Amino acid sequence: MQRRRFLRSVLAVSAAVAAPRVAAALPMYDPFSPQPDRWRTFDLTTTIELARANGPAAAWIPVPALSAASWIKPAASRWKTNATSVKLVRDPASATAMIYAQWATSAAAPAIEIVSRVATRDRTTDFKKPGTAADLLPADRLRYSAAAAGIVTDTAGKITAGITNELDKARAIYEWVVTNTFEDPNVPGCGTGDAAALLTGGKLGGKSADINGLFVALARAAGLPARVLYGIRVAPSAFGYASLGANGPDVTHAQHCRAEVYLGGFGWVPADAADVRHVIAAEPPGRLTLDDQVVIDARTALFGAWETNWIAYNDGQNVQLPGSSLGPVPFLLYPQAEISNARLNSLAAEKFRYTIAVSELGA
């Protein structure tokens, strides 16, 4: 047991009468404070088998492509397959990278295995010391500022009324999203990311694409460039949060979407309101609230910081799959496949028959 955890356990025992809920949770955690120290390198292996394919088949598998010198460095992906053709392609609008594989009608049990290597590390933002981050290129500013109208703009206006500072606007939106949303376990996968539908429905429940997508939409409506990053958890949390990490080598269902907002002097700043709600919904011992200390710790840290135990694939939205006539996908986070021009359910990994495994080099 780490010394900090031991000391927190002793303190928790003495405080049990005064604060039973917080005391019960405290021994599990170290203070949540990601810092950009060591780099970690992971191999992500995605395996797809399209059993009983009775016609031409194709698959589009996302591979890590988003790069930032301070926290993530993807390397080339490699693969082995019985596909008729296979190549790395990118969505021209967003640079979303994917392996595009095709099988002829006669192909027996189409299969492909892809290994992607990524180096990543924790990141944090010192809001007391603005830096000299370069401004976004005009094309990127336009892309990441495209705002929805109507209820999204109206809501953003109410949240940021009277606020002129970019950082204060972003923080106000983050706090509003954390306070007013909830994680809905009945939403499939990571959700759809439709902020307008979420607000119109009046019941602000969803998963990470929904909750962090709402933050991004509101930020853009308030004049702040922002984006959703689509990725996957690859390692346990270093701070004891069972809900904030992958707790085994099988990460087939560990997809998670994070968000960033671009602020003058700071550049891209992490903001993960969805993980605050995930701590409340999924962290032992259960039934946590915004007043629990472990939630407060996560809420404080997750505006401006995040852990290295997550890999970003891309930030693309409305991604057109090359060679497909079935229209774009809202985002490319899960493997996609079609057999005889019929798209498979990417959220049904067992029926689709794909797995994603991770290993850390040097661990």
User: Quick one: DSSP state of residue 104?
Assistant: -
Is the same domain home to 161 and 212? yes
Is the same domain home to 282 and 203? yes
Is the same domain home to 332 and 279? no
Is the same domain home to 296 and 185? yes
CA atoms within 13 A on the CB side of 282: 15
C-alpha torsion sign, points 316, 321, 325, 331 = negative
Is the same domain home to 26 and 175? no
Residue 264 covered by a domain: yes
Residue 35 covered by a domain: no
Structure tokens, 203: 């019941």
Please state the pTM of the whole predicted model: 0.90
CATH code (residue 165) = 3.10.620.30
Is the same domain home to 284 and 175? yes
Is the same domain home to 297 and 271? yes
Residue 214 covered by a domain: yes
C-alpha pair distances (Å), 233 with each of 44, 230, 258:
10, 11, 11
Q: What is the DSSP string of 210-241?
A: HHHHHHHHHHHHTT--EEEEEEEE-S--TTS-
Instruction: Count structural domains, the chain.
Output: 3
CATH code (residue 354) = 2.60.40.2250
- Do 92 and 322 form a contact (C-beta atoms < 8 A)? no
Is the same domain home to 169 and 279? yes
Report the alpha-carbon distance of residue 61 to residue 59 in Å, rounded.
Answer: 6
Q: Which domain holds residue 112?
A: 40-120+317-361
Is the same domain home to 75 and 8? no
Is the same domain home to 81 and 96? yes
* Helix/strand/coil for 273: helix
Residue 171 covered by a domain: yes
**Looking at residue 106, what is its pLDDT?**
67
Is the same domain home to 141 and 287? yes
**Looking at residue 27, what is its pLDDT?**
38
C-alpha pair distances (Å), 171 with each of 27, 135, 184, 308:
29, 20, 23, 22
3-state secondary structure string, 22-36?
HHHHHHHCCCCCCCC
- Do 125 and 305 form a contact (C-beta atoms < 8 A)? yes
**Looking at residue 224, what is its pLDDT?**
97
Cis before 74? omega within 30? no
**Looking at residue 6, what is its pLDDT?**
28
C-alpha torsion sign, points 210, 41, 237, 282 = positive
Residue 5 covered by a domain: yes
- Do 20 and 301 form a contact (C-beta atoms < 8 A)? no
**Looking at residue 20, what is its pLDDT?**
32
**Looking at residue 55, what is its pLDDT?**
84
Phi, psi (degrees; rounded to nearest 5) at 80: -135, 140
| Local confidence pLDDT in tens for the 363 residues of the chain | 332 332 233 233 333 333 333 333 333 467 899 999 899 999 999 999 987 777 899 999 999 999 999 999 999 999 999 999 999 999 999 999 999 999 987 667 899 999 999 999 999 999 998 878 889 999 999 999 988 889 999 999 999 999 999 999 999 999 999 999 999 999 999 999 999 999 999 889 999 999 999 999 999 999 999 999 999 999 999 999 999 999 899 999 999 999 999 999 999 999 999 999 999 999 999 889 999 999 999 999 999 999 989 999 999 999 999 999 899 999 999 999 999 889 999 988 777 889 999 999 986
Is the same domain home to 215 and 323? no
Report the alpha-carbon distance of residue 60 to residue 73 in Å, rounded.
Answer: 22
